[in-house]
Amino acid sequence: MKGLIFTYLLTYGGSLLALFRPFVGFLIYVLFATLRPEHAWPWALPPGNYSRTVAIAMLIGWALHGFGRWNLGRGGASIAALLAYTFWAVLSATQASDQVRAMAFLDQLSKISLPVVVGASLLNSVGRLKAVAWVILLGHAYPCLEFNLDYLQGYNRLRFDGYARMDNNCYAISLVSSAGIGVFLGMYAETRRKRLLAAGSMALIGHAVLLSNSRGGMLGMITVGLVSFSFMRKGWKECSALAAALALVVIFSGPEVRARFSSTFADKEERDSSAESRLELWAACLDTIQKNPLLGVGPNNMPLLMPNYGFELGKEAHTLWLQIGAELGAPGLVFLLMFYWLTILRLLPLARGSPTTDPQLQLMARMVIASLCGFMVSAQFVSLKMLEPPYYVCLIGIGVLRLATPRGSQPRARVSQIPRRSPAWATIAPSGGRQP
């Protein structure tokens, strides 16, 4: 009953509010894309167009308020890459052999790319960036709480049932995309209550990844941890937190989980059938890219070619990047990678810090880089083309770049509202010391 009230209140009350405050509608849309309320409370919530209702209200409010502000600064290149990726998908779809599958891809992609564009025009303050980060983190933490409770009662629901029409591997990758947010908010959020909330959420997410038994998810979490630690001041608090996290991983990962992860790097003679078939699937994608380098075989059409490589019809390639290259051609893959890598590379100077870097922007740059690096590594193991949270994590980075753009090309009022220092954030140092 609580889930029903919560979802209806956000859907219809939030839609009404979104007509006047489109950013509220955007936050609810991101929450629904992350939490998937119809799967969080399937026993109480009837099927419905909850996200679509919020999206329509958000778009109307966005139009009524002048389509936001478009001075995106250094974040504009990432949005341009996303639009180029969308355009190339449309171009590739025109020559796909199965138009129904191609059009379904375009329909789903529009539900991601359009909200990202809307969000880019609305993220004009640090407070809004933090709100999106908290929504993504908590939207993942609640399902993980349920997974952990089910596990304590004797059933590993995430591993055997998955979540939101995703299997254990796919949802583990979604969790990885929020892990960097959990790490840095758990260490450096403004108040102790927020730090505890973020750390608790991160603990639930990390244990859920272990419960998923997903090799890609585990590898992604290791990547998040390594990237996060590389940015942290190597003080006693950070080192203690890392040691505690490693100890908990060793304690809560049983022999089956350790054996599963170690098989990722096994020799050819020792690989299990799942790992071996992945390599064969990746080789099939590379061959398809070589044969169709410009437009690919069309969105969602690679599974139709799998019988040519000895697999059953409809088999996915278990690699996001190579399957996108096979379906949309090399330019489509390049545009998608540019969306993420342009954001990461342009955030690096902010993440490393300088005397003029705002501590809050530095923190968010670090959390975005850690999350995206973990996602990009783990996505090599799944064909999850419509996973939404990584797009919104990248959008936080685009917002950081927008606010960090030199004042000559940025509205002064918004930048001047960002506090220069605060005690909670001042401990974030660029690479081994306190902020001056």
What confidence category does residue 1 fall into, taking pLDDT thresholds of 50, 70 and 90? Answer: confident
Inside any domain, residue 314: yes
Tokens of 336: 């998608």
Is pLDDT at 432 greater than 60 in this prediction? no
**pLDDT mean over 134-162:** 95
278 and 201 share one domain: yes
Residue 163: strand pairing partners: 166
What confidence category does residue 69 fall into, taking pLDDT thresholds of 50, 70 and 90? Answer: confident
**pLDDT mean over 5-18:** 96
Q: Provide the pLDDT for residue 229.
A: 87
Distance separating alpha carbons of residues 154 and 157, to the nearest angstrom: 9
* Residue 187 belongs to domain spanning: 72-416
Q: Provide the pLDDT for residue 129.
A: 97
Burial class (CB within 10 angstroms; exposed 0-12, middle 13-18, buried 19+) of 132 = buried
What confidence category does residue 426 fall into, taking pLDDT thresholds of 50, 70 and 90? Answer: very low
Q: Provide the pLDDT for residue 275.
A: 64
Residue 163 phi/psi, 5° resolution?
Answer: -160, 140
Q: Provide the pLDDT for residue 96.
A: 96
38 and 17 share one domain: yes
* Chain mean pLDDT for the chain: 87
Among 79-83, 257-261, 319-323, 325-329, the minimum mean pLDDT is found in 257-261
**pLDDT mean over 331-341:** 98
45 and 155 share one domain: no
19 and 94 share one domain: no
Cα-Cα end-to-end distance for the chain: 52
Q: Provide the pLDDT for residue 357.
A: 72
E strands present in 262-416: none
| Residue 111: C-alpha distances to residues 52, 163, 256, 433 (Å) | 9, 20, 38, 43
Residue 53 phi/psi, 5° resolution?
Answer: -60, -45
8 and 142 share one domain: no
32 and 81 share one domain: no
Whole-prediction pTM value? 0.88
262 and 384 share one domain: yes
Three-state secondary structure call for residue 1: coil
Q: Could you give the number of structural domains in the chain?
A: 2
Distance separating alpha carbons of residues 88 and 84, to the nearest angstrom: 6
The proportion of the chain whose per-residue pLDDT surpasses 90, expressed as a percent, equals 71
- Produce one character per residue of 91-116: b if its CB has 16 or more CB atoms within 10 Å, e if not: bbbeebebeebbeebbeebeebbebb
Choose between 78 and 265: higher pLDDT: 78
Is pLDDT at 349 greater than 80 in this prediction? yes
Tokens of 266: 């096994």
Distance separating alpha carbons of residues 135 and 109, to the nearest angstrom: 21
The proportion of the chain whose per-residue pLDDT surpasses 70, expressed as a percent, equals 83
88 and 19 share one domain: no
Inside any domain, residue 329: yes
44 and 187 share one domain: no
Inside any domain, residue 123: yes
**pLDDT mean over 70-99:** 95
Choose between 181 and 407: higher pLDDT: 181
The DSSP-derived string for 105-170 is: HHHHHHHHHHHHHHHHHH--SHHHHHHHHHHHHHHHHHHHHHHHHHHHTT--HHHHH-BTTB-HHH
Inside any domain, residue 251: yes
Contact predicate 143/40, CB 8 Å: yes
Inside any domain, residue 210: yes
Nearest one of 135, 129, 222 to 172, comparing CA atoms? 222
Q: Provide the pLDDT for residue 253.
A: 56
53 and 115 share one domain: no
Distance separating alpha carbons of residues 325 and 331, to the nearest angstrom: 8
Inside any domain, residue 124: yes
44 and 93 share one domain: no
Contact predicate 260/212, CB 8 Å: no
Inside any domain, residue 426: no
168 and 42 share one domain: no
pLDDT tens for each residue of 288-301: 999 999 999 999 99
**pLDDT mean over 244-260:** 58
Q: Provide the pLDDT for residue 70.
A: 86
pLDDT tens for each residue of 49-62: 999 999 999 999 99
Among 128-132, 251-255, 411-415, the minimum mean pLDDT is found in 411-415
Q: Provide the pLDDT for residue 353.
A: 79
